A and B are shown apart, each in its own frame.
Chain A
Amino acid sequence: MSEREFLRPRWRRGDMTIAEKLWQISWSYVLIIAVIAGIGVIMLYSAGNGSFDPWASRHAIRFAVGLGVMLTVALIDIRLILRYAYLLYAATLVLLVGVELMGHVGMGAQRWIDLGFFHLQPSEVMKIVLVLALARFFHGTDIEQVGRPTVLLVPLLMVAAPAVLVLRQPDLGTALMMVMGAGVIFFLAGVRLWKFGVVLAAALAALPLAWSLLLHDYQKNRVRTFLDPERDPLGAGYHIIQSKIALGSGGIWGKGFLAGTQSHLEFLPERQTDFIFTMLAEERGMIGGLVLLALYALVMVYGYLFALRSQHQFGRLVVLGVSTTFFLYVFINVAMVMGLIPVVGVPLPLISYGGTVMLSLMVGFGLILSVWVHRDVEMGRHG
């Protein structure tokens, strides 16, 4: 009888000491995340033209803080998280409304709340909190209930409310990410595929309407420019053309650390945030890009393993939901800088400079770890 077998009954009750929980944390997972963040620090050092100032050092500090937050969250009992999921959701929704109201006063497209030491972007927090709320909802429904369209109305509203608010900010990228992340949870929860078909068809039908009513001119331009970047090589298409030149000229092995001409001579826009992958690929070549993608894939793989070992639906949905959000960040950002999809303001997780994303991602990883630590906990419908 192994130690684990011996402990299991007590663990099922959720009765674990802090030391036991710490022991249960997947430290290899933490290590991978730290390695990725380390790459982030190195790239931001290069983005600062060989200086820790202004980005690399602050990124490192934020990651260290985030690491603490992540481990703290990992220790929180998963049932507690289940219990407060709706409350967190409601609170974040209030913040989103608050930003919406302040936005009219502020710079027109304000997305953050000034906390003094920190600019909090409620939309980033919502990406994670929405996963929690939906996971709690589907945790409490069985397959038959999921089959009933009226039951799905509630989670649909839970997605639609923040998505519309975010779209009005206007932040198309985040809104789409929320919808896609939520869609994955619906899918995992067992919603029939034809229903996705119906929603998709309805969305396509509504597209012309959305184009004229919801999208701002600059968003329309981004889509048009995506379809034909050379349309306006000095205007909207400039970023993506320069990004492709930077990537392509990096070749297989790259131009060397701090030697990316496109990045350092400022042909590349936003090299410390949205276009940092381009800079990595310019200086470190395709090899560098592949290594980073492999690390991201590894994070995903861990997620699947954690999810499948979880004894409760809530945990499974939380892990896969957060992992999928993480995946969407990576995919949208990398596809965007390579000109596969239109330019949307989505950062590269753990690498791009930015506080809220880092914090919400670390909270997300903390939740994943919490599910892993509490994988054997028995959970009722309401925790």
Chain B
Amino acid sequence: MDRTSDRGRLLTRRAALLGAGQLGLFGLLVGRMYYLQVVEAERYRVLAEENRINIRLLPPPRGPIVDRNGIKLAINRQNFRVLVVREDIVDLEATLGKLARIVPLSDYDRQRVLREVGRRRSFVPVPVRENLTWEEMARIQVNAHDLPGVLIDEGQTRHYEHGPAMAHLMGYVAAVSEEDLAAARGADPLLELPGFKIGKAGVEREFDLALRGKSGSKRVEVNARGREIRELEREEGEPGGQLALTLDINLQQFAADRLGQESASCVVMDIHSGEVLAMTSTPAFDPNAFTRGLSSQEWKALLDNPRAPLTPKAIAGQYAPGSTFKMVVALAALEAGVIKPEQTVWCPGHMTLGNARFHCWKRQGHGHVSLVQALAQSCDVYFYEVAKRTGIERIADMARRFGLGSAPDIVLRGVRGGLIPTKAWKQATLGEGWHQGETLIAGIGQGYVLATPLQLALMTARLANGGRRVDPVLTRQVMVDGHLAPRPVATPESLGVSRHSLNLVRQGMHEVVHGRRGTARGAALPEELGEMCGKTGTAQVRRITRAEREAGVTRNEDLPWERRDHALFVCYAPADKPRYAVAVVVEHGGGGSAVAAPIARDVMIETLRLDSAAPRRPEGDLKA
């Protein structure tokens, strides 16, 4: 019993120690609570709010693009798409397999989905396929019970009405790339939004900022996995602005259809304002395919096509202008005073310079030709002689005044400037001196001389408007600080070419179409539309050897396509009160009068027809 009570006393003592120890530890807990919940409370309150509240971007709808009459060219279309939500799916690959039996899925799509799912949080829906048909949607709905985690929603995709006809100008939108992100340097958070698309080419690209709009935002309460629980506050963004082009889509479509499958381009320009009413390049591609995403086969087919559907030939195709350059040579000579209009040159079919012989297209020669006759019949010998007298420098100066030799100031990328050679240019680039023979060749728009169809249209417009420096214009608005503003009215200055000289050249162009011996007599307009002035051009793309010339020049039709001549035609109408200029280039089309002129005539007819059909828009109506 003694021992037991000893034991009891010891235990009591030690129990007291234990109690004190436990009390101390509880005190520690209380102290910690005080520290966290009183001393540091404010800091943790802020952290808790940061946890809870998230700011989400609201993408604005992209602005539409319309033609000069307000017809919609690029719109946002509702689009049904099928998505997967990772957190609701047990076996993603199996689900995709099941889905593939209902709607066609490419391997590429599958890989992309698997990749995206890995990158995003598990509740974020990842698009599997867009642009579902009604039938596909119905089939998914019917099988919905078998496909947990698969859902259908409605998004917006960019759609281009008149797809291929507008392709090169319009460009397209596509997903933001790493380079785009780097270039933006975090300026617009929209770019980081999954699935956001920006303009990648054409006006979609050039006016991207204005079309994109400003993002709105909403403050939402989220849970730990980032799922939205409720919306706290919302700030609406600003939808993208409506961009109006100067194009007339009906004319554009007409021109594209008229060019058909030729590798060709056509530009229609208002000669007073410089507004481009049509600018087509064929063959083209469907920009909707780019927005949807191209398969590698489709892409390869586009790249391998010898008619270069991806190249906007109207602005980037550089061709020897051939005889369409003769107006410039004539003006240079007249202004330099080296020829008199009534003075004639004898054309025996060729001209000899030193021991070289320069041929006229007409083997038997034109006989005595004056300026107007030379233009009307496109006599080469006349222009060899005139070019020889004028000299390359004065020709080049005149060419520049008419917009050749430098890229037109138009809001697109890839606009080429062609080439107007000078002695200095040749020395600098080829390191060789200039030969007089090269001046002769330049005099008929061959040799080094190159121009784009847009430049040819511009040249024609400046000829037709009385020698004023209009510039090509593609849009009715300009972008100022990321917003669209009406384009300020420009008053084109004079090119400093005398009216007398211009009238002579224009008379020559009139004779081309309406003269007895004009090279484009078949291109005359129907009587009620008035008269047209024009100039044919046939640009040689191969060298004709002496042997061939003696044996008889091979006809174009007998040559392989890529060695045939380019066919060109420039024109303006109506002759007495000009309003529109048209330039047509058909690659390897053969003769300008036979191939290009009829196309240009048809396009001009359509232009004038549409012009009289459409009510004239007052100037103040240009705002978006």
Interface, chain A (partner B; CB < 8 A): 142-144, 184, 187-190, 242, 244-252, 261-262, 265-268, 281, 285-286, 289-290, 293, 296-297, 300, 304, 307-308, 313, 316-317, 320, 324, 327, 331, 334-335, 338, 340
Let me know if A313 and B38 touch, CB within 8 A.
no
Let me know if A249 and B45 touch, CB within 8 A.
yes
CB distance from B115 to the nearest CB of A (A): 21
Chain B interface bracket (under 10, 10 to 19, 20 to 34, 35 or more): 35 or more
Other contacts beyond A242-B51, A248-B44, A327-B22: 4, CB < 8 A: A143-B6, A249-B44, A261-B52, A266-B225
Let me know if B18 and A184 touch, CB within 8 A.
yes
Known: A249-B45, A261-B48, A265-B222. A187 touches B18 (CB 8 A): yes
Let me know if B36 and A304 touch, CB within 8 A.
no
CA distance A10 to B604 in the complex (A): 128
Among B8, B33, B48, B51, contact of A289 (Cβ-Cβ < 8 Å): B33
Greatest chain B CB density within 10 A among A265, A324, A327, A331 is at: A265
Q: Which residue of A lies closest to B51 (CB)?
A: A267
CA distance A335 to B33 in the complex (A): 10
Let me know if B37 and A285 touch, CB within 8 A.
yes
CA distance A245 to B33 in the complex (A): 12
Let me know if B32 and A338 touch, CB within 8 A.
yes
Encode contact with A along B125-154: 1 for CB under 8 Å, 0 otherwise: 000000000000000000000000000000
Q: A268 contacts which chain B residues (CB < 8 A)?
A: 224
Q: Which residue of B lies closest to A313 (CB)?
A: B7
Q: Which residue of A lies closest to B223 (CB)?
A: A265
Let me know if A286 and B11 touch, CB within 8 A.
no
CA distance A277 to B620 in the complex (A): 71
Q: B33 contacts which chain A residues (CB < 8 A)?
A: 247, 281, 286, 289-290, 338
Q: B45 contacts which chain A residues (CB < 8 A)?
A: 248-249, 251
CB distance from B226 to the nearest CB of A (A): 10
CA distance A288 to B499 in the complex (A): 98
Does B34 make an interface contact (CB < 8 A)?
yes
Q: B18 contacts which chain A residues (CB < 8 A)?
A: 184, 187-188, 320, 324
Among B15, B48, B221, B225, contact of A304 (Cβ-Cβ < 8 Å): B15
The majority secondary structure among interface residues of chain B is: helix
Let me know if A297 and B41 touch, CB within 8 A.
no
CA distance A92 to B32 in the complex (A): 37
CB distance from B172 to the nearest CB of A (A): 39
Q: Which residue of B lies closest to A268 (CB)?
A: B224
Let me know if B38 and A286 touch, CB within 8 A.
yes
Q: A313 contacts which chain B residues (CB < 8 A)?
A: 4, 7-8, 11
Does B28 make an interface contact (CB < 8 A)?
yes
Q: Which residue of A lies closest to B40 (CB)?
A: A248
Q: A184 contacts which chain B residues (CB < 8 A)?
A: 18
Q: Which residue of A lies closest to B45 (CB)?
A: A249
CA distance A313 to B15 in the complex (A): 12
Q: A266 contacts which chain B residues (CB < 8 A)?
A: 223-225
Nearest 8 pairs of A and B residues by beta carbon: A248-B44, A249-B48, A265-B223, A266-B224, A286-B37, A267-B224, A249-B44, A251-B41
Q: Which residue of B lies closest to A251 (CB)?
A: B41
Q: B47 contacts which chain A residues (CB < 8 A)?
A: 245, 248-249
Q: Which residue of A lies closest to B16 (CB)?
A: A304
Let me know if B36 and A248 touch, CB within 8 A.
yes
CA distance A382 to B270 in the complex (A): 118
Known: A293-B30, A335-B29. A262 touches B51 (CB 8 A): yes
Does B55 make an interface contact (CB < 8 A)?
no
Q: B7 contacts which chain A residues (CB < 8 A)?
A: 142-143, 190, 313
Q: A252 contacts which chain B residues (CB < 8 A)?
A: 37-38, 41
Among B10, B11, B14, B44, contact of A247 (Cβ-Cβ < 8 Å): B44
Q: B15 contacts which chain A residues (CB < 8 A)?
A: 188, 304, 307-308, 316, 320
Let me know if A190 and B11 touch, CB within 8 A.
yes
CB distance from A320 to the nearest CB of B (A): 6
Interface, chain B (partner A; CB < 8 A): 3-4, 6-8, 10-12, 14-15, 18-19, 22-23, 25-26, 28-30, 32-34, 36-38, 40-41, 43-45, 47-48, 51-52, 221-225, 229
Let me know if B22 and A340 touch, CB within 8 A.
no
Q: B12 contacts which chain A residues (CB < 8 A)?
A: 308
Q: Which residue of B lies closest to A142 (CB)?
A: B3
Q: A188 contacts which chain B residues (CB < 8 A)?
A: 11, 14-15, 18
Let me know if A304 and B8 touch, CB within 8 A.
no
CA distance A334 to B30 in the complex (A): 10
CA distance A335 to B225 in the complex (A): 27
Let me know if A300 and B36 touch, CB within 8 A.
no
Let me know if B44 and A245 touch, CB within 8 A.
yes
Q: A142 contacts which chain B residues (CB < 8 A)?
A: 3-4, 7
CA distance A252 to B30 in the complex (A): 12
| A-B contacts, 12 listed (Cβ < 8 Å) | A244-B44, A246-B48, A247-B37, A248-B37, A249-B48, A250-B41, A252-B38, A265-B52, A265-B222, A267-B48, A281-B37, A331-B26
CB distance from B12 to the nearest CB of A (A): 6
Q: B6 contacts which chain A residues (CB < 8 A)?
A: 143
Q: B34 contacts which chain A residues (CB < 8 A)?
A: 286
CB distance from A136 to the nearest CB of B (A): 15
Q: Which residue of B lies closest to A144 (CB)?
A: B3
Q: Which residue of B lies closest to A146 (CB)?
A: B7
Q: A248 contacts which chain B residues (CB < 8 A)?
A: 36-37, 40-41, 43-45, 47-48
Q: B29 contacts which chain A residues (CB < 8 A)?
A: 293, 331, 334-335, 338, 340
CA distance A308 to B48 in the complex (A): 47
Among B14, B26, B38, B229, contact of A297 (Cβ-Cβ < 8 Å): B26
Let me know if A290 and B30 touch, CB within 8 A.
yes
Let me know if B51 and A143 touch, CB within 8 A.
no
CA distance A250 to B36 in the complex (A): 9
CB distance from B173 to the nearest CB of A (A): 35
Q: A338 contacts which chain B residues (CB < 8 A)?
A: 29, 32-33, 36
Let me know if B22 and A300 touch, CB within 8 A.
yes
Let me know if A187 and B38 touch, CB within 8 A.
no
Q: B224 contacts which chain A residues (CB < 8 A)?
A: 242, 265-268
CA distance A156 to B618 in the complex (A): 104
CA distance A265 to B232 in the complex (A): 15
CA distance A189 to B19 in the complex (A): 15
CB distance from B151 to the nearest CB of A (A): 22
Let me know if A247 and B36 touch, CB within 8 A.
yes
Q: Which residue of B lies closest to A141 (CB)?
A: B7
Known: A188-B15, A190-B14. A265 touches B229 (CB 8 A): yes
Among A262, A317, A334, contact of B48 (Cβ-Cβ < 8 Å): A262
CB distance from A296 to the nearest CB of B (A): 8
Q: Which residue of A lies closest to B37 (CB)?
A: A286
Let me know if A265 and B51 touch, CB within 8 A.
yes
